[in-house]
Amino acid sequence: RSLRRPLRRTTRMPAPLAHARAILVARLERLVTLTEVYRGDINDTGVRMLSHAIDATMGDLEDAGLSGVEIGKIVSHAREAVRKDQP
């Protein structure tokens, strides 16, 4: 018989995972904002770099348990926030 106690299922996620998700969400929002704000000012290499960073961050968020729909909402809200702030 194992001495380990079975893991208890909870609805709360462990604090380190919640913290990591918050960091990744903030990173995704910042990258989307940079892309929207500087779209006309950066060259093709800059656009590719930002696109790659956004894709990587989205993948990290999926690995952290967010669905594609949730990630899409984060991107949409970040884009909307930039458009509201621009004249």
- Amino acid 1: pLDDT: 44
User: What tens digit of pLDDT does each residue of 2-40 get?
Assistant: 455 554 555 555 677 888 999 999 999 999 999 999 989
- Amino acid 2: pLDDT: 45
Only one residue has tokens 């909307």, namely 80
- Amino acid 3: pLDDT: 53
Mean pLDDT of the chain: 86
In contact, 28 and 78? CB cutoff 8 Å:
yes
In contact, 58 and 71? CB cutoff 8 Å:
yes
* 47 confidence band (pLDDT: 50, 70, 90): very high
